[in-house]
Chains A and B, each alone.
Chain A
Amino acid sequence: MTSQARDPAELGPRPEAEVPAESCDYQPENPVEQFLRTDRMPHIWCPGCGIGTTVNSFARALLEAKLDLDRVAVVSGIGCTGRVAGYVRLDSFHTTHGRAIPFATGLKLANPNLTVVVYSGDGDLFAIGGNHIIHAARRNLDLKVICVNNFVYGMTGGQLAPTTPVGALTTTTPYGCYEPAFNLPALMDAAGAVYVARWTSFHVRQLTRAMVDIFRKKGFCFIEVLTPCPSLFQRKNRMGEGLDAMKYYKEKSKVRHGAPTSEVGLTIDGDIIVGKFVDRERPEFLDLLRSQLAAQLGDRYVEVEHLVCS
């Protein structure tokens, strides 16, 4: 993607010839191929973009967790990250901007046997969709949320996000961002998530492990993955290419499992605290719903697992 042609949605998939071999996640011998809609490759993501790296971890985690893939659904909102739903060979839903969580809520409540993964961007989940994610965490509905944080709105060409660090340049903060950013793990912790972790696209193995963790855990789980957006955020802030971002993540990351989430806020050039911050138990939404109704209604309560119509 170039800065003139900003919206990959408008461009459609890039012609094959334009995809530099080394930047393309799609390799025929790749063991994660079975999880991808190879008939949709090449993907729209830019060379060096971190989103594809997270999808690799996701595919490996699916493999490792030995989930029944027929029962895994991926729900995305709109954005570069939102395109993940279109590339995974699973039941997948590319919904509206900000509303992946409430769509996933309906999907999960109507069929609790599904493992419902919400895969979306920081702007999608925390700006336009911010209200929904807080409430889903409060309810502790069993959703696995993977938030790709590239500090910017990628799809629309590099505007301010609720995660943009103070001082950073975006197209709508041309003189530098002065808005305080969200500390996503602290927000999710406060709202009630039972699992909160942060990794970067440099931490491929740890990210895979965290994804396996949340596939096995019941309740509202949240992983923030920091990824480079070389075309927009990196370029605008003179942070180099995708590879430079990897070096940067390697240098600046400090693993602190169990760190109080209030201490893991990000700044433009400070340390990046990564690790598993929260892993706790709280009663899950559907369990709460069922036990309350059973207690109040006794035999009159009709419990149905899957709300499938004729």
Chain B
Amino acid sequence: MPHADPRGVLTGVHFMDGDHAACEGALAAGARFAAGYPITPSTEIVERFAARIPTVGGVFIQMEDELAASIAIAGAVWAGAKAFTVTSGPGFSLMMEHIGFAVMTETPCVFMNVQRGGPSTGLPTLPAQADMMQARWGSHGDYEIIALSPNSPQECFDLAVRAFNLAEEFRVPVMLMMDEVVGHMTEKVVIPPAEQIEIYPRRHTRLPPGQYKPYAPGPDLVPEMAHAGEGYRFHVTGLTHDERGYPSMNAAAQDRLVKRLKAKITRAADRLACYEEEGTEDADVVVISYGITSRVAQRAVEMARARGVRVGRLRLITVWPFPTRQIRALARRVKALVVPELNLGQIVLEVERAAAGQAETISVPHAGGSVHAPEQILDAIMEVAK
């Protein structure tokens, strides 16, 4: 893989918060266009981008709302740019139609959501992880996306880079699902030299105009792109379309297209699965968590071990597609899976589905506004370990 354009890479050891680190990740990944609409607790990402991008070479535009921001990025991508938008709960709700548009038109782009408490205006300045299902299911129709969940500012950087790479590889919108705490906590962030950052390049067609079919998939089911202004004179539509990109409104075309859009992700699920596992080999209980909650869960696991419980932990880094096969294998080995999250039980449903009755699945819900107390998770562990 080629590596990053050094102009966007702020190589060095920094102290920065997760929002700023995510912005640096985007710049390192080659994002040169961002459109946003201010919303707490995500605003620092676009503020930093607005300050940084003129010295890197690119454009930031503050749009009139999130509907506009979420489709302006698609326009920029079809002109050739790597692009992203940034938001939180209410804005994420407004962006749903354009997540579907990006899926349908196979527009590689990144949506960053710094989650806060909801529903509605909810808790603007306080954390939650309650948009995890929305990220997966929020737009209408059947589809797959990729979602990553960082648990530190360092990972906000690392996963922002990965989000752009996956978006390009699969031509799919990728969600970076942060939360208020991760977004606002300041920690050490190491940004490597540009030549150590691998970049997945745009899958641009090598075919000349005339031979190029915009939606003819390759062996991995992903078609190659062209950009406006290059002479291809192609058509892009959110309607169901054929390989030429022309609207094709019938059940057969729908079946072909929608199944391919889904399969290009599900077929790669094993390769996309990314999680951190510790102490699960001989565990009776495994705590499955993601994002900021994983840091509280770690404390709870340590406390439980001190009390003699054989408990391991698994942290999801890729949340979508959900690593069903891997969790199922884990469920066969353990007694119980404990799933704390800053919502009233979302990813626990996936864990339960994956476990398929092989292990007891315990939800440790939290309505958001703060993180769990480690004792809440500990209690759940102790209860199932009895």
Contact = CB atoms under 8 A, between A and B. Distances in A.
Interface stretch (B117-125, B227-235, B305-313, B344-352): B227-235
A99 B67 contact: yes
A302 B33 contact: no
B279 interface: no
Interface in A122-175: 131-132, 134-135
A16 interface: no
Nearest to A139: B61
A143 B245 CA distance: 24
B230 A12 contact: no
A303 B7 CA distance: 13
B250 interface: yes
B229 A289 contact: no
B55 A86 contact: no
A289 B63 CA distance: 14
A10 to B, nearest CB: 7
Nearest to B55: A300
Contact of B30 (A37, A91, A111, A310): A310
B58 interface: yes
Nearest to B247: A86
Contacts of B246: 37, 39-40, 86
Contacts of A99: 67-68, 71, 98
B229 A95 contact: no
Contacts of B227: 111, 308
A114 B235 contact: no
B98 A12 contact: no
Interface in A29-55: 37, 39-40
B79 A96 contact: no
A24 interface: no
A309 interface: yes
A102 B199 CA distance: 28
A105 interface: yes
Given A85-B235, A102-B72, A91 B5 contact: no
B235 A105 contact: no
A69 to B, nearest CB: 8
B98 A70 contact: no
A128 to B, nearest CB: 9
A120 to B, nearest CB: 13
Contacts of B65: 131
Nearest to B65: A131
Contact of B68 (A108, A114, A132): A132
Contact of B229 (A12, A114, A293): A114
B101 interface: yes
B228 A111 contact: yes
A302 B332 CA distance: 56
A293 to B, nearest CB: 5
Nearest to A304: B57
Contacts of A39: 246
A289 B80 CA distance: 20
Interface size class of B (residues with CB under 8 A): 35 or more
B229 A301 contact: no
B63 A102 contact: yes
B222 to A, nearest CB: 16
Interface string A284-303: 00000100010001001111
Contacts of B35: 102, 105-106
Given A106-B79, A107-B76, A297-B54, A310 B32 contact: no
A93 B245 CA distance: 10
B76 A73 contact: no
A92 B245 CA distance: 10
Interface string B33-62: 101000000000000000000111111010
A40 B247 CA distance: 9
B7 A109 contact: no
Nearest to B69: A102
Contacts of B162: none
Interface in A190-240: none
A310 B201 contact: yes
A310 B31 CA distance: 11
A184 interface: no
A94 interface: yes
B71 A96 contact: yes
A9 interface: yes
B81 interface: yes
Nearest to A83: B247
Contacts of A95: 71, 74, 101, 238
Interface in A94-118: 94-96, 98-99, 101-111, 113-114
B82 interface: yes
A302 B64 contact: no
Most buried by B among A9, A70, A90: A70
B83 interface: yes
Contacts of A5: none
B207 to A, nearest CB: 16
A41 B33 CA distance: 37
B287 to A, nearest CB: 40
Given A73-B228, A307-B76, 9 more contacts: A9-B247, A92-B236, A95-B101, A105-B75, A109-B61, A109-B75, A113-B229, A135-B63, A307-B33
Interface of A: 9-12, 37, 39-40, 69-71, 73, 75, 85-86, 89-96, 98-99, 101-111, 113-114, 131-132, 134-135, 289, 293, 297, 300-304, 306-310
5 contacts: A10-B249, A103-B74, A105-B35, A308-B79, A310-B5
List the 4 closest A-B pairs by CB distance, nearest first: A106-B75, A308-B80, A110-B79, A106-B72
